[in-house]
Amino acid sequence: MLPKWPLDRQGSHSSQSAENKLAIPVKDLETKGRSLGLPLVTAALQFAYTHPFAASVLIGTADASLLQRNLHTITAQIPDRFMDVFDV
């Protein structure tokens, strides 16, 4: 899941909205992706695509340009250590 809100929101655990609760793991994914030189969308789709328990990956899109981008991310070269960094 890729959120549409800014990833830099702050909040305590007791008062976080559902969006903020998702922002914490998304920030972790974003940081891990950046450490490999990958944008968040590429890291997220590659995580799903390379996960050994995933039988298929459904790519949603709002228009043709996003579909092209998402298809490119699935075929993008990823570093060998991707599986280790993302605990796949």
Give mean pLDDT, residues 9-34.
Answer: 65
What does the pLDDT read at residue 17? 60
| pLDDT tens-place string over residues 35-74 | 999 888 888 888 888 888 888 888 878 889 988 988 888 8
Question: Please, are residues 85 and 50 in contact by the beta-carbon 8 Å criterion?
Answer: no
Rounded CA separation 86/68 (Å):
24
Does 10 map to a domain? Answer: no
For the record, the structure tokens of 30 come out as: 């974003």
Distance CA(51)–CA(78), nearest Å, equals: 13
Sheet strands (E) in the chain = none
Total number of domains constituting the chain? 1
61 is in which domain, residue-wise?
18-85
Q: Specify if 7 maps to a domain.
A: no
Name which of 14-23, 56-65, 71-80 the model is least confident about.
Answer: 14-23
22 located within any domain: yes
Q: Looking at residue 30, what DSSP letter applies?
A: H
